[in-house]
Amino acid sequence: MDVTRKGLVSVALAAAASLAIGMGTQGLAEAAPKQITVGSIYSIDKPQGQVWLKMQDLVEKEAPGKLKFNVVPDGALGGEKEEVEGVRLGSLQAGISTLANMTTWVPAAALFDMPFMFRDQAHIDAVMAGPVGDRFKSLFAEQGFKAFGFITYGSRNVISKEAITGPADVDGKKMRVLQSPLHIALWDSLGASPTPIPITESYNALETGVVDFMDMTMSGYNALKLYEVVPAFSRTSHIWSLGVMYMSQSFWDSLDAEEQAALEAAAAEAIPYFNQLAAAEQEAALQQAIKGGAKVIEQDIAEWQAAMAPFWASYADNVGGMSMIEAIVETK
């Protein structure tokens, strides 16, 4: 073999080796799981962190080695608003957020702030699995979000010195309310005297009689030891804090059919898992308050809903119309 031919063979062998190495590297790259970075404003042991660990386990069973969740807890990536912006910019791929926060991008989600629409968690599940939930998934998609489904953080309940058994019992009483037009209008419509007071001043305001009652989540009721001054806990669950598990629509579109199916299946299990954790956390807080002297008064939600009719009618135009409220209330 002459020198020229030897050279050509050497070049060919080198090229082949280089191609083989390149193909091997490409194969490794293709085998590497796609990264899904999410943030949590709470620690990893809270429901907001645990839900993503559950997602990872479920996705791995459906599509082994294809997707990996990187959870950044403790608010290291900012609050809910910053996390949503991160998903929109592409630095994050997914997240969960309260619907109240998401009204910046989907204003129609303010509908879910309306009081006494939901009877219980089963009712919420039925509503969000039906046409109402489908409508909001479409609204989120229009804003660049793939909405997997909707989660429940907990509900607000009435707490007072004297037992409140129905809407007539708040008439004429002074109430500490959130500094929110909706909350002020709601309690004013029932004859109460709404007084916006910072949460840090609520204990003293209740103790001294500046206000007679307020509303609060179970966890807040226990954490602030409000049961010491307002031991009557009326389980009104009048406003539920709902949220959404979402992903960047563009990232979703970049996934193959197997990966999308794995995520959909995982979310279908992870969302009720989150709801169970959140409900257990709230109920545990209430049980602690009961040990501290709180008394639970169950409510007839239908009675509260009947009292809400005038308020719903007056506020409906702000949240998409009376037909949307009725669609929720009448869902079986």
> For position 4, what pLDDT does the model report?
41
> How many whole angstroms separate alpha carbon 178 and alpha carbon 201?
12
Q: How many CB atoms lie within 10 A of CB 287?
A: 14
pLDDT at 241: 96
Which long-range contacts link 58-62 to residues 24+ away (Cβ below 8 Å)?
Answer: 58/262, 58/265, 58/266, 58/269, 58/270, 59/262, 59/263, 59/266, 62/258, 62/261, 62/262, 62/265, 62/266
Angle between helices 322-329 and 301-315 (to 10 degrees): 160
Q: Which option is the CATH number for 33-329: 3.30.1780.10, 3.30.420.40, 3.30.360.10, 3.40.190.170?
A: 3.40.190.170
Residue 3: the pLDDT is 42
Sketch the domain layout of the chain as residue ranges: 33-329
Would you say 197 and 224 are in contact if contact means Cβ atoms under 8 Å apart? no
* Sign of the Cα pseudo-torsion (284, 285, 290, 291, in order): positive
pLDDT in tens, the chain (332 residues): 444 444 433 433 344 444 444 444 444 445 699 999 999 999 999 999 999 999 999 999 999 999 999 999 999 999 999 999 999 999 999 999 999 999 999 999 999 999 999 999 999 999 999 999 999 999 999 999 999 999 999 999 999 999 999 999 999 999 999 988 899 999 999 999 999 999 999 999 999 999 999 999 999 999 999 999 999 999 999 999 999 999 999 999 999 999 999 999 999 999 999 999 999 999 999 999 999 999 999 999 999 999 999 999 999 998 989 999 999 999 99
Q: Are 295 and 235 in contact (CB under 8 A)?
A: no
pTM to 2 decimal places = 0.87
pLDDT of res. 30: 59
